[in-house]
């Protein structure tokens, strides 16, 4: 073989070939949970929406852990998985909380402002992370937006103890407060990369699911 011979071109994989990748399947399972959360928010079944939201976080954390444990993943697999994660995060932690806020506010126009603030903070936060990544390899700049869903799911535990009007105001202020933290310069640890934290999230997810299931059917 001479040095003048052209190198063989790499065959471009198909889109659906990445679906068989286990971390990507886990990501898509989280997206399915997110879709259910959006549906139940719009239809006013907020306890069911909370279950969908917390499971979306659980699958999001699990896909990263699985990806780090798997052997033989190609560079394309890792790049595709990274892009898939970011796109799903926008829906799960930006769009979904915004829809929860608007829906709980009974679609009053004033809630569009809070929803826009939260959604804008989410896309700004993710865009910043896509460029600069983790600070010192282990900490985020600003509050990671998966915490938005975890906080809202916890907050809704007290919804039945407070009147609708009062809780609407609390939810509004809470969402705007989370948005401010998302784009702030505070340093927060990366929780999802620690297997112990993944186990703790799994326990939290099961506990939250049990509580909200009881609220729905008890």
Concatenate the DSSP letters of all residues of 101-121 into one string: HHHHTTT-THHHHHHHHHHHH
In a domain, 5, yes or no: no
In a domain, 12, yes or no: no
pTM of the model: 0.88
In a domain, 8, yes or no: no
What pLDDT is stored for residue 179 in this prediction? 96
Domain that holds residue 90: 19-217
pLDDT tens digit sequence for 83-124? 888 899 999 999 999 999 999 999 999 999 999 999 999 999
- b (16+ CB within 10 A) / e for 10-36: eeeeeeeebeebebbebbebbbebbeb
Number of folded domains in the chain?
Answer: 1
What pLDDT is stored for residue 169 in this prediction? 96
What pLDDT is stored for residue 175 in this prediction? 96
In a domain, 33, yes or no: yes
What pLDDT is stored for residue 8 in this prediction? 46
Give the residue carrying structure tokens 């471009």: 12
In a domain, 1, yes or no: no
Q: Which residues of the chain have pLDDT under 50?
A: 1, 3, 5-9
What pLDDT is stored for residue 4 in this prediction? 53
Q: Give the C-alpha separation, 177 to 160, whole Å.
A: 22
In a domain, 13, yes or no: no
* CATH at residue 39: 1.20.120
In a domain, 161, yes or no: yes
88 in Cβ contact with 34 (< 8 Å)? yes
Q: Give the C-alpha separation, 195 to 174, whole Å.
A: 29
Give the residue carrying structure tokens 């970011």: 86
- b (16+ CB within 10 A) / e for 94-131: bbbbbbbbbbbbeeeeebeebbebbbebbbbbbeebee
């Amino acid at each position: 073989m001479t040095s003048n011979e052209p190198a063989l071109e790499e065959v471009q994989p198909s889109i659906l070939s990445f679906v068989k990748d286990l971390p990507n399947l886990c990501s898509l399972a989280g997206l399915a949970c997110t879709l259910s959360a959006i549906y139940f928010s719009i239809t006013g079944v907020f306890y069911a929406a909370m279950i969908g939201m917390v499971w979306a976080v659980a699958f999001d954390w699990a896909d990263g852990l699985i990806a780090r444990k798997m052997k033989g993943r190609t560079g394309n697999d890792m790049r595709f998985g990274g892009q898939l994660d970011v796109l799903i995060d926008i829906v799960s932690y930006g769009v979904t909380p915004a829809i929860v806020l608007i829906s709980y506010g009974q679609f009053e126009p004033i809630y569009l402002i809070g929803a826009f603030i939260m959604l804008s903070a989410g896309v700004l936060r993710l865009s910043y992370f896509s460029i600069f990544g983790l600070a010192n390899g282990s900490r985020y700049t600003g509050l990671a937006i998966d915490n938005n869903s975890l906080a809202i799911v916890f907050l809704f535990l007290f919804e039945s103890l407070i009147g609708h009007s009062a809780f609407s105001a609390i939810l509004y202020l809470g969402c705007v407060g989370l948005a401010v933290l998302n784009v702030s310069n505070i340093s927060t640890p990366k929780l999802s990369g620690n297997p112990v934290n993944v186990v703790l999230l799994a326990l939290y997810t099961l506990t939250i699911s049990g509580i909200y299931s009881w609220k729905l059917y008890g």
